[in-house]
Structure formats: C-alpha cells, structure tokens
Amino acid sequence: MSKNPLLSPFEEAPFSKIKSAHFKPAIESAIAEARSEIEEITTNSEEATFENTIEALEFTGRHLQRVSSIFFNLNAAETNPDIQQIAQEISPLLTEFQNDITLNLALFDRVKHVYENQDQSALSEEQKTLLDKKFKHFSRNGAMLSEDEKLKLRKIDERLAKLKLQFGEHVLAENNAFELWIQNENDLDGLPPSIKEAAALLAKEKGKEKGWVFTLDYPSFMPFMKYAKNREIRREFYLAYGSRGFHNDDKDNQEIVLEIARLRHERAILLGYESHAAFVLEERMAESPKNVLKFLDELLEKALPAAKKELTELEAFAKQKDGLSELQKWDTSYYSEQLRNKKFDLDDERLKPYFQLEKVISGVFEVASRLFGLRFVETKDVDTYHADVKTFRVFDQAQKEVALFYADFHPRPGKRNGAWMTSYKGQYKYDGKEERPHISIVCNFTKPTENNPALLTFNEVTTLFHEFGHALHGMLADTTYISLSGTSVYWDFVELPSQILENWCYEEEALELFAKHYQSGEIIPIELIRKIKESSNFLEGMATVRQLSYAILDMAWHHADPSEIKDIKAFETKASHRTQLFPETEGTCMSTAFAHIFQGGYSSGYYSYKWAEVLDADAFAHFKEEGIFDRKIAQLFQQHILSKGGTEEPMVLYKRFRGRKPKIDALLERAGLV
C-alpha cells in the first residue's frame, strides 16, 4: 500500500492521496497517540491545575479529531461500500476510546480536584466554561458509576454507535435503490420543461435509452410532487419516499429504531436521569422536557387553528379544480403550488431563471461582505474529494485569511440526502499559534443540464443561505478552545446564525445583489420581489404544524420508556394525533427514515428549529430597525454570537447582542399567526 498521508500532520486534507485502506491504520495510530497524551496527564506527579489538567485535556487528540472528521464527512458526502465497512470497524474503536477517557478514574479525580479547588476569579469566562463542561462531560457520562455500571455503559455506547451507522446506511441504500422510470410523456403533464430535461439527462446517466428518470433525491422528488398532474404516480412516488426503512427486508429500520430508543433510555436511567430527553436537555437553553413540551404546546395552540383554516381552503380549491373529494399527503405539494400560483401569480419556474447557482453563491458572499467585511476568493490549488466541490479562501477586512471554505452542491449516489454544514478543521489557539478553520457546506441542489445552468428553486436559495449561516458561525469563530469554537454551542442555539441569514432572501436590497436573469442579466422585477414577500407565509400554519409534529414525535421517542413499544407505526400515529391534518397513509413510517434523530445529533432536539426561529425573528427585527446591512448591528452579531461559539451561556450572549431576552412576537407576526 502507498505511504499513508494521514499518518503525518497536514494543513489541508490530502483527499487525492487518501485511499480507503488508509483510514483504519491512521485512526488506530491517532488513538494511540491520544492515549499517550492522556497518560501524561494522569501520571503527572504535580497537583492538578487548570493548565496541566483541563487545558492539557482540551488539546489532546487533535490529530485524531482531524482524521476522524475527514473520514465521517466522506462517509456522508462521498461514501462507498469500503468506507461503510470501515465505518463499522472504526466506530467501536472511537467509542471505546471516548469511554476510556470518560471512565478513567485517575483522570476524573484530577478534573474533579480542579473543579472543586480552582480559584474562579483567576479564570476568564471562556476558561470557566471549559472547566464546567469538562467536569460535566465526566459526571454526566458515567465517571461516578461503579465498575459494573461502567462496563454496561461501554456496551450500550458501542452498540449505539453501530446502530446509528446501520440506520444511515439503510436509508441511503433505500434512496439509491428506487427510481421512477417514466416512458410515456403524457405521465409528465404539468412538469416544466427544465424538470423534464433534468429527468431525461438522469435517464441517460442511468443507461436508459429513452424516457425520464426521477429519484428520491430532493431536487428530483420535490418538483415531481409539486407539478405532476398524474395523481396515481404522485401516490406511488410518495409511498416510496415515505416507506424508506419500512419494508420488512434487510434494509428495514424498525428494529434498529426500537433498539436505539431503548438503549438511549437505558443509558439515561443508568446515569440517573428520568429519560434520554431529560439527559440531553439539561445542557440546552430549554433546560428540561417540561419546558420543551410547554413551548411546543404553546406554538401548536397558535398554529393549529391557522393550519385547519388553510387546509379547508386547500381542500375547497382541490375540489373546485379537479373534483377531489379527499386531500391526501401526496396531493398537498401539487395543490399548494397551484393555489399559490393562483393567489400570487408566482411559481418556482417563474423564479428559477433569476436564481442561477453561481450568482446566488456570489450573492451570499456579497451579503457576508457587506455585513462582516469578508472576501471570498475561489482557488483551484486545494485538494478535494470530488470534482463537484468548489473551494474558496476567505479573507477579512485586514486581508488576513480567516478560513478555507469547501462547497459541494449536487446530488450523487454516494451522498446522503439533505443539506448540512461541517468542518474538516476547527478553530483554536495553541502554543502561541492560531489555527483557522476549514469549513464545508454540503447540499443536494438541482444540477445543470445540457441547455441550462443550475437554476435553484427559491427553497434551495433559502437552504443555501441557511447552511452558509452555519458556515459563518464556523468561519468567524474566535476562541481559544476548539470544543467551544464555532458551532460548538447548545443545540437549540446553533440554528440562530443559519436561520437568521435566510431573512435576507426576502429583502429587496439583498435580492438585487444576485437575483439576475441567467440569460438577460435583468435584475429580478420589483413585482416578483413583492410577490415573494407576500407569499412568504403562505400556508405557514400547516408548515408550522408539520414541523411541530416532527418535534413532538422526537420527544415521544425520547421522553418515555420505549420498552413497551411493539408497533412503530401505531406509536407514531398516537404520538402525532394532535398534529394530524391528513388521513393516515398505510405502508409509510416517519421514524424509519428520521435521520435527524436516529442518525444525526437531533435526538430530543428537533424542537430547536422552532426555538431558534423565535431567536432569529427577534434578532432580524433588530436589523430591520437600523437597516439590513447596518454594520453596527452586524458587528454586534459577530462580536457576541458568531465569534463567541459556546464560550458563555447562549442567553447571556444573546442579551449582549439584543439588549434584552428574545420575544416571540416577531415570529408570530412573520408567520401570520397573530
């Protein structure tokens, strides 16, 4: 095998030199190195201090962090059977290593000694937070358990690591296995030419001599559901999407979901908590399941009447238009789009020519420049893992390079669905040197065709701004410690920088920067901007209830004993009955493909999207008071939110930015719920 590029330190990820077989030995080597660093701390004969214990622990395993971040990012964005197999082998090693740290009594004794004896006045706010988090990491994860209980915890964590990987692999496999091959052009009635062209191109790529292919990837699935007149094919397509992981075959996730939920509950009880949700929420702004459930109930009380009113209007429209007697889930996107077009004379096909991907990228860069003084320079000298990936060096007003930015925009078979921000290298300061971050956003946007560049739907535009908001949180990080840097904040605070940036997509002053017709260069007409704003809360009640249903289902899984659950579908139906707007669909199941909570980090945290909406609406109202590009407000946001990461309590940081606690009024007004 060639020389392993991951065994030596590197600045930028050496993607082109990495072979799949390099990962396991590199991670084993990095674990051994980190173990040696831990041993130096525990065998230190000097009294435990903040510097020789807490700081020393913070800076262990930096090489391991880098190698494992590269590996797991590739497993999400460019996976293959080899990488998936290695993931199954590596995950138990990493879980064992993490448990070896958390359950190391000698190490915990030193941390505990500092926690109990440290003069707090001698520490900065960031150092106080680090000390508190290090102690809680041990105390909340088994350091005070008996040896038998520690062994039990290790087994639970190792099993959970494997199950989450299997869950994700099954969803990806189900996604890739399904394709809708249409050979009769009449079945495409209603679809715009650009969507048909993309589907024809996909058919060719998949070796079909004729016809059109649609997949479960979002840019393929959603336009079909939105525009296709053929109701029966919409039903078939919806059922394929809604039944992922629910086929009682080798890719079925039902038992995996049950086992994950049971193990999480068992783990929480072992650690002295009432439930997994109670364990998780102790370290969130919301603080407890009771507060989350109260928050969700209050929002549902506001949203449900609006949703029912909207549904009645949508049903009447579908009946008047096509004689539909009962609206089903596979009808909502189609008739919503038809009604939106009728009310506002606006649809995605009319807007897409103004949202060429490259121009939207330039636009989001210009927004970042006007707000935070950043400059983005595309570079070809950075190694990437796929030809689609673009790279940019990011400079501040002083022309200092503050970050390296990767952007990966289009779907492909080795890439999971959705959109996310991640990092290949975190920001921190060590040994007199500042390490700047390498940040990435990964999306699944409409691809260019033979005749057209990549033209985005408005929803894709807001998604790009959303993920770029997360990226700014990472790029503008300015902390000493990596575990408190960038997006390393409370989970219900992390969506504030991403969601607030979406607001600029609705503002004339921002749209004029990038919403230009890809052929004529014409700036988007003011009439269309007005329609975008007018339609921004169209069917917002139904959308809010849908989001709340996901959050309520998440809490149902994680704030009760799941040991008696036998039928996942029946459990889901019961948990979500208050948010049920449509007839139940046999053969579908949300939980078996609910990757946010069973694969990602959102278990007991899905509510955070709505929680952060309160923050983002309130924060953007502050910008609106002074102007959406007001540098003074932007500097406050950068100084107190973006640069601070998790160095202090989120509410403390928010109040420094806003001058007060957030109010729900701006969200209710924006959503049209008042």
CA distance 141 to 280: 11
**Encoded amino acid at 340, one letter:** R
Give the number of other Cβ atoms within 10 Å of residue 347's Cβ.
Answer: 19
How many residues belong to the chain? Answer: 674
The answer to whether 355 and 458 are in contact (CB under 8 A) is yes
Which one-letter DSSP state was computed for residue 408?
E
DSSP letter (8 states) at residue 571: H
Please state, in angstroms and rounded to a whole number, the distance separating the CA atoms of residues 218 and 371. Answer: 31
Which of 610, 379, 635, 665 has its CA nearest to residue 496?
610
- C-alpha–C-alpha distance, residues 69 and 438, integer Å: 11
Residue 293's CB is within 10 A of a number of other CB atoms, namely 17
Nearest Cα neighbor of 153 from 247, 271, 40, 232 is: 271
Q: CA triplet 340, 346, 352: central angle to 5 degrees?
A: 125
Torsion of CA 544, 546, 551, 557, to 10 degrees: 160
Here the tokens at position 597 are 């909570």
Catalytic site residue 648? no
Within the chain, what is the greatest distance between any pair of CA atoms? 82
DSSP state, residue 516:
B
Q: Going by C-beta distance under 8 Å and a sequence separation of 6 or more, which residues neighbour residue 220?
A: 198, 199, 202, 214, 411
Helices 254-270, 147-177: crossing angle, 10 deg rounding: 160
**Alpha carbon of residue 662 to chain centroid:** 23
* Rounded-to-integer distance, Cα 600 and Cα 611, Å: 18
Distance of CA 429 to the CA centre of its chain: 26
Q: Are strands 438-442 and 401-408 parallel, antiparallel or unpaired?
A: parallel
Nearest to 470 by CA among 502, 505, 447, 446: 502
Token digits for 270?
């072992």
Give the active site residue among 55, 58, 78, 467.
467
SS3 182: strand
- The answer to whether the beta carbons of residues 221 and 214 sit under 8 Å apart is yes
In sequence order, the 6+-apart residues with CB closer than 8 A to the CB of 109 are 48
Q: Strands 438-442, 180-182: parallel, antiparallel or unpaired by DSSP?
A: unpaired
For residues 283 and 60, give the distance between their C-alpha atoms in angstroms, rounded to a whole number.
23
Residue 585 has a CB neighbour count (10 Å cut-off) of 16
3-state per-residue secondary structure call for 642-657: HCCCCCCCHHHHHHHH
**What six digits make up the tokens of 229?**
């007149």
Which sequence positions are flagged as catalytic? 467
